[in-house]
Structure 1
Amino acid sequence: MADPKPASAPRFAPATLVLIAAALIAAVAVIVSIAHANGADRTPTTNAMAADAGQADAPGDDVHNFVGQLRERVRRNPEDDDGWYQLGLAYRQIGQYEEAEQAFRRAMQLRPNNADYVAFLGETVLLRGGATPPPEAEQLFRRALQAQPGHPQARYYLATLRDFRGDHRGALDDLIALLRDAPDGAAWYSQVRDAATSIAERNHIDIADRLPPPRESPGSVATAAIPGPTQEQMQQATSIPPSQQDQMVRGMVDRLAERLRQNPRDADGWIRLMRSRMVLNDAPAARQAFTSGMTAFNGDAATQQRLRDAARQLGVPTN
């Protein structure tokens, strides 16, 4: 977070927006996650080799293609509120906030009581507002809470705005309450906790005896820090027409599998593939990924044990 400014001239720093509402991100996150697994985490050498072979992946292309498909979807059916919402998420992902705002606003017009539509519009208005938060942003967050009491995204941003106005203790009260209400596995928990810690440190407020303890990130030790689609993200992709979902999601998982066939000495990749296959309810394919990974690391007991641990935690049948 930015350093505090004089009360007479407060400024709202974009860095304050640490909550990315991970629990609410929909299908576009699936595409970015799997595309990242297919290519964004390669070493420069591997990327160069793939480019020479004409096989380099371009994660950004997947998102831009998705934007094009969504634009066609809402062109064909301008009353498709979910299509407008998905389009807003996609524009937001590539940093086109003006277009994202227009899409979220249209979604909200079509379904005024959908808290997610309202909250994401509020966030986008806030992001576009510059140094001073537009009054409409707070109005939208309060409207989201009316539509869905307890909405975490709206609660977070209202606390952030309270901190901006100088009510640091009130903001901390709100953030701590949000942490205490967080369900198990809330993807935003650590980000909200970091925000509370930052506000407390910046304003010399002791919250050590009030701050809920850290939680392990969703997932497990074996799969933490490995990019890839989560169960929630894949489930939220159900709003995409089945044919498009198969083409984009399954196609990218299959490309990951092909890359592993060509370069099998990639433990993280095998774990990604196991996880993706299980999320797609394809246990036999997940088991095949486990078997292939174990074969690739024959003689490497430590890595094989890691694959076993990951398979167990992901529920992959290994017998």
Structure 2
Amino acid sequence: MLSFWVAIAVMTGVAALAVLVPLLRRQEAAAAPDLAVYRDQLSEIERDLKSGLISADEGEAARIEVKRRLLAAADRSGAEGAAKRGRRKRWALVFSGLVFVPMLSIGAYFIIGVPEMPDQPLAARLQAPADHQNFAALVQQVEARLAQNPDDGRGWELLAPVYLRSGRYQDAVKARQNALRLLGATADREADLGEALFAAGADIVTADSRAAFERALTLDPKQPKAHYFLGVAEQQAGNVEAAAARWRALLAASPPDAPWRSVVEQSLVELATATQPQPDKLQSAAPQSASPHPDKPLPGPRVENAARLAEQQAEKQAGELPPEVHLSMIRAMVEVLEQKLKTDTGDVEGWMRLVRSHMVLGDSEKAKTALASARTALAGDADKLKRLDDYAKELGLGG
């Protein structure tokens, strides 16, 4: 008798799959493009620019178009709720016709199931250990707390770099403004607001973002982020010499282990590549020519550079939190960093942060796995491999 019911279950399952698979395929075809695809396209544009396959103007136009599509894809994700309701209606019709499926499911449950096992409500799942939470759930949790307590300036300050790193630029601006209003003006908060306005302005240092950076320097003349982005403003205005001078001065005033050094150095290289065929001229002397098209600003550093600065700021802020919240933020940043490194495998600083984050979390095995992945990804770059290996030795992971 048991074999009979098993045969019935198998046949019913095959029939159910024959009905459900086409529905699943239609939903997959209708799904929004993965945001990672657009970020990969941005990387391809940068590679084409460096190899000379496209001009600077063509590269800038392509970047703007890809970013427009990326933002549009993010906006479309808000429509998922309506799509899910439509799917539920269609699936309800399908399952109502498959009478044998619930019958057999109930029978199997009472044979092999555990009816006395308690359920786990949504609130309990959100309070589960952080290593079982995904990044989206953590963000939703913080947003829920801020909805109940909108005057929690520390919460807005914590959430802002997460928004920026996730591409939610307008939300990042709002969060920075709230933190500034509730916690008071400091050089760092003014610079953070300017950074969010830069990202929301499609990589342009607008009048509002420039004003925020200038306020930051009024409060602290050495504020590094403000100096960096005011250099971006000079670059976009075609003032190449002024931009390079500001960035070189920033590097000269920065300690050797300053986390923003790599961003500034990369921007100097990009500036040299965009304006002169020999980048070493920019390092030895002030450039003799400005933008090849004076009526158009030079393309400035990408939002990715701003996001890297935000990521470093988030790590700094997380260290000021209670231990359990600090660890939750590190785990959230690890998830974001792992996704980023899937497309930007040559980011040695990113690999180093990932290895260090796993060590901070006390998971040396994951740190070793990340280190092995980094060595594989950077196998073709001896300089980056040496930096990685030296850093691993400092963490006690050498060999």
TM-score, normalised to structure 2's length?
A: 0.44
Distance change in 2, residues 1:14/1:125 (3 Å): farther
In the alignment, is the contact (CA less than 8 A) between 2:160 and 2:176 conserved in 1?
Answer: yes
Count of matched residue positions in the alignment of Structure 1 and Structure 2: 217
What are the residue-to-residue correspondences of 1:190-269 with 2, within 5 Å? 190-204=262-276, 206-209=281-284, 236-246=317-327, 249=330
- Secondary structure in 2 aligned to 1:208? helix
Distance change in 2, residues 1:162/1:77 (3 Å): same
Identify which of 164, 175, 178 aligns with 1:106.
Answer: 178
TM superposition shift of 1:142: 0.7
Distance change in 2, residues 1:121/1:277 (3 Å): closer
Q: What is residue 395 of structure 2 aligned with on the other side?
A: 314
- Secondary structure in 2 aligned to 1:145? helix
Measure the CA separation in 2 of the matches of 1:251 and 1:94.
11
Distance change in 2, residues 1:311/1:123 (3 Å): closer
Identify which of 150, 153, 159 aligns with 1:78.
Answer: 150
Distance change in 2, residues 1:276/1:102 (3 Å): closer
Measure the CA separation in 2 of the matches of 1:158 and 1:109.
23
Distance change in 2, residues 1:169/1:232 (3 Å): closer
In the alignment, is the contact (CA less than 8 A) between 1:122 and 1:138 conserved in 2?
Answer: yes
In the alignment, is the contact (CA less than 8 A) between 1:159 and 1:172 conserved in 2?
Answer: yes
> What letter corresponds to residue 259 of structure 2 in structure 1?
A
In the alignment, is the contact (CA less than 8 A) between 1:159 and 1:175 conserved in 2?
Answer: yes
What are the residue-to-residue correspondences of 1:1-319 with 2, within 5 Å? 62-130=134-202, 133-204=205-276, 206-209=281-284, 236-246=317-327, 249=330, 275-276=356-357, 278-279=359-360, 312-315=393-396
Measure the CA separation in 2 of the matches of 1:272 and 1:131.
25
Show CA shifts across 1:6-56 (max 9, x none).
xxxx99x779xxxxxxxxxxxxxxxxxxxxxxxxxxxxxxxxxxxxxxxxx
Greater relative CO, 1 or 2 (CA 8 Å, sep 6+): 1
TM superposition shift of 1:313: 2.0
Distance change in 2, residues 1:183/1:102 (3 Å): same
Gaps of 5+ in 1: 16-58, 212-229, 254-270, 294-305
Show CA shifts across 1:184-239 (max 9, x none).
2122212212212322343338223269xxxxxxxxxxxxxxxxxx9997664234
Distance change in 2, residues 1:252/1:116 (3 Å): closer
Q: What is residue 85 of structure 2 aligned with on the other side?
A: none
Measure the CA separation in 2 of the matches of 1:239 and 1:107.
16
Distance change in 2, residues 1:310/1:158 (3 Å): closer
Gaps of 5+ in 2: 1-45, 50-54, 66-130, 287-310, 335-351, 372-385
Measure the CA separation in 1 of the matches of 2:260 and 2:327.
28
Measure the CA separation in 2 of the matches of 1:170 and 1:62.
44
Measure the CA separation in 2 of the matches of 1:274 and 1:165.
39
In the alignment, is the contact (CA less than 8 A) between 1:66 and 1:90 conserved in 2?
Answer: no
Is the helix fraction higher in 1 or 2? 2
- Secondary structure in 2 aligned to 1:113? coil
Measure the CA separation in 2 of the matches of 1:125 and 1:89.
12
TM-score, normalised to structure 1's length?
A: 0.54
- Secondary structure in 1 aligned to 2:284? coil
Cα RMSD after superposing both structures: 4.5
Higher alpha-carbon Rg? 2
Show CA shifts across 1:111-169 (max 9, x none).
33222222122122122224764211100011111222211111111011011112111
> What letter corresponds to residue 207 of structure 1 in structure 2?
L
Measure the CA separation in 2 of the matches of 1:114 and 1:136.
17
Q: Percent identity over the alignment?
A: 30
Distance change in 2, residues 1:98/1:277 (3 Å): closer
Measure the CA separation in 2 of the matches of 1:110 and 1:242.
24
TM superposition shift of 1:272: 9.1
> What letter corresponds to residue 100 of structure 1 in structure 2?
A
